[in-house]
Every structure is written in structure tokens, then in C-alpha cells.
Amino acid sequence: PAPRADRPRAALCAFNIEGVHASDLATMIDLDGVAIRSGHHCTQPLHRHLGVDASARASLYVYNSSHDVDAFIAALHKAVDLLGGTLTPTEPN
């Protein structure tokens, strides 16, 4: 769909999973063939302010398909289950 002023969009999402370090999460997801980033993403002051050591980041581009998104979601759920984390959905601000 076309962008709308009342519905912000972004091609990336930085996130944390309760009980799982971002680097461990990225490593486990990579084992399923899905690449995400982990670390500070050049935002160390923000991470300090939020009180987190690191974050994971998933990015999309024009060459990604809905299959890629489904593969990421499946790999994320598998990694969280294996690492003992908690997925807690939140509503956007």
C-alpha cells in the first residue's frame, strides 16, 4: 500500500526479547538461514538511556518477499523457544 501520513512505516525494526541477549538471538536465527543484526547499531547513547546492552534489528528491502518475512517469524519463534525467552507483543505508540 502507498504511504499515508496517519500510518507511519519503516523498513526496519529494532527489538529485544525478554530474557534473551540480542547476539544469541541473531546467532540462532542465522542457523535457520535468516540474517539479522545485533549490537548497538551506532546508537550507544540510546541503548544506555533505555538500559539495554544491545538490540536485534531486522531489515527489509525491495528484494524481500512475504516468504522472507514468514521465514524470519518462524526462525524468531524457534529461537525464542530454544533460548527460553518471552515474546510479549506491544501496541505501537
pLDDT of residue 2: 74
Catalytic residue among 42, 45, 84, 86: 42
Helices marked H in the chain — which ranges?
A: 22-30, 44-50, 66-83
Per-residue pLDDT at 87: 81
pLDDT in tens, the chain (93 residues): 677 888 877 888 999 998 899 999 999 999 999 999 999 998 999 999 999 999 999 999 989 999 999 999 999 999 999 999 888 766 655
For the question of residue 42 being annotated catalytic, the response is yes
| pLDDT given at position 90 | 66
Predicted local confidence at residue 92, as pLDDT = 59
pTM for the whole thing?
0.81
C-alpha closest to that of 35 among 6, 65, 71: 71
Q: Please report, for residues 12, 27, 40, 55, the alpha-carbon distance to residue 48 in angstroms, rounded to integers and kept in the order given.
A: 21, 23, 10, 11
Q: In whole angstroms, give the CA distance from residue 88 to residue 57.
A: 17
Joined grid coordinates for residue 21: 541477549
